[in-house]
Structure 1
Amino acid sequence: MSIHATTHLNFRGDARQALGFYHSVFGGASTVVTYQDAVNVRIPADADRVMWGLVAADSGFRIMAYDVPADMPWHQGENAFLVAVEGSTAEEITACWDKLREGATITQPLAPSQWTPLFGMLKDRYGVNWVLSVAVGR
């Protein structure tokens, strides 16, 4: 079992370009899933935007990014990042979630999703945005 934290950058339409830039700098593999790929389009303009993106290099460098949906507030520099926590089991992630959610505002309840056994988002009592999930395919 292991838990990893990764900086998760938030954009409004620039995530694909940013991930491409970071990939060119740090190398490794780059993965992009659009809202359309995940069958999660709420607003047509978001269909080809990044719902989940990752650059992971053999050096250990990892960065995630997504395009905040058009129906959610976003101000560059104000909510520019999330801390993404991935665990190898649902039990690990649930234990972290249960502690982080005390005094938090739940953005997305912890639940199964199309891409992982568990996924959830919250803003903790200190105003830090977190996304927790079970790692798949590692």
Structure 2
Amino acid sequence: MAAVNPYLTFGGTCEAAFDFYKAAFGGEFQTLARFGEMPEMCGPGDKDKIMHVALPIGKGSVLMGSDAHDSMGPVTAGNQYTVSIQASSEAEADKLFNALSAGGNPYMPMAKAPWNAYFGMFNDKFGIQWLINFDYVQ
């Protein structure tokens, strides 16, 4: 497995939060993308919200986050964090997805994603949110 990182979800304040974290940790954003860059993934009120931001914060650790788009509903204490796994292959991504989602709710099966990755999301049987990603270009 390449890495496990925290993924934080916000209700429209992701940019302000990550500007704050960037000031505290230092460094530069590795990625900052808005929902408007992929209009098929959002409604009209979401285009300026953060779809994905990544801030390296140490040896191999990346703090990641996004805003919830309108169709996801409100952000609550139970859905504001996710465990993100950066897999080292499609096969490893499938293995982890299948094992960890067993008995849970695999609401986005592993599939090729528009950002040149293999990606899936689920809640495990204990209610913890997970996302698994394998980047084709590393």
Common fold by TM > 0.5: yes
What does residue range 1-138 of structure 1 map to in structure 2 within 5 Å?
2-30=1-29, 31-135=31-135, 137-138=137-138
For 1:121, what is the secondary structure of its paired residue? Answer: strand
CA distance in 1, matches of 2:2, 2:128: 18
Greater helix percent: which structure?
2
Query: Residue 77 of structure 2: SS of its match in structure 1?
Result: coil
1:35-94: CA deviations, max 9, x gaps? 111343431010111111110145444210001111112233231101011112111111
Q: Is the 8 A contact 1:83 1:131 kept in 2?
A: yes
| TM-score, normalising length: structure 2 | 0.89
Q: Tell me the distance in 1 between the aligned counterparts of 2:62 and 2:98.
A: 25
TM-score relative to the length of structure 1: 0.89
How much has 1:137 moved relative to structure 2?
Answer: 4.7
- What amino acid does structure 1 have at the position aligned with 2:52? W
Give the aligned CA root-mean-square deviation in angstroms: 1.7
Contact 2:116 2:137 in 1 (8 A): no
Look up the SS of the partner of 2:120 in the other structure.
strand
Please, which runs of 5 or more residues in structure 1 have no aligned partner?
Answer: none
**Offset, 1:101:** 1.8
- Report if the CA contact (8 A) 1:56-1:63 is conserved: yes
Equivalents in 1 of 2:50, 2:25: separation in Å?
20
Residue 76 of structure 1: SS of its match in structure 2? coil
Question: Match for 2:26: what amino acid?
Answer: G
Structure 1 segments of 4+ aligned residues over 6 angstroms from their partners: none
Count of aligned residue pairs for this structure pair? 137
